[in-house]
Amino acid sequence: MFVIEVYDVNEKRVAKVLKVSRKYLYWVQNSVLEGEISEANFRRLKEELLEIIDLKEDSLIFYTFRTTKYSERQCFGVLKGGEETIF
Amino acid sequence: MFVIEVYDVNEKRVAKVLKVSRKYLYWVQNSVLEGEISEANFRRLKEELLEIIDLKEDSLIFYTFRTTKYSERQCFGVLKGGEETIF
């Protein structure tokens, strides 16, 4: 499945959240990652992130897609992410 | 169609980008909006935003989906957006 992760977390936790997220997904833009991921790895990603973030203060959203067939990504301006992705 | 907008723009332009984006989409989280939008309005949104952002410095990404049937949104922590959405 394809996943887009967006997060809005306290400055103190940003580095840790990014480091864990980059083990599983591609960094695309400030607090946005995306990529193809297995169900098992998606579970691990969520478990690891939920140990880091403060549920009362931080916000973490995953958009999951069983297929990208009906989807498209349009980028304008500076492409900040490095790696190529499925989209 | 359903659209997710993520942006990473210079502090000077954030307020303008958010103001324009909120005319068409729901604010979900810091620099993330989403919502159902017509092709015509999506064109207008892009035109208005492209007049604001600096293509050499800012980053603007749209994920578009012709259907949300194969998709799901999982939120953890604080739900920052106000309005309910299609997801």
Q: Render pLDDT for A63-75 as a digit per residue (tens, 0 to 9).
A: 998 887 888 899 9
ipTM of the complex: 0.85
Residues from chain A contacting residue B4 (CB–CB below 8 Å): 4, 63
Adjacent-strand bridge partners of B29:
B32
Residues of the domain holding A56: 1-63
Indicate which CATH number applies to the domain containing A28: 3.30.70.240
Q: Assess if residue A70 is contained within a domain.
A: no
Give the annotated binding-site residues of B: 8
Nearest by CB to A71, from B7, B59, B65: name it: B65
Q: What is the predicted pLDDT for the residue at B66?
A: 86
Residues from chain B contacting residue A69 (CB–CB below 8 Å): 70
The set of long-range contacts for B18-25, using a CB threshold of 8 Å and a minimum separation of 24, is B20/B45, B20/B48, B20/B49, B20/B52, B21/B45, B21/B49
Is the pLDDT at A85 greater than 60? The verdict is no
Cβ contact, residue pair A63, B55, below 8 Å: no
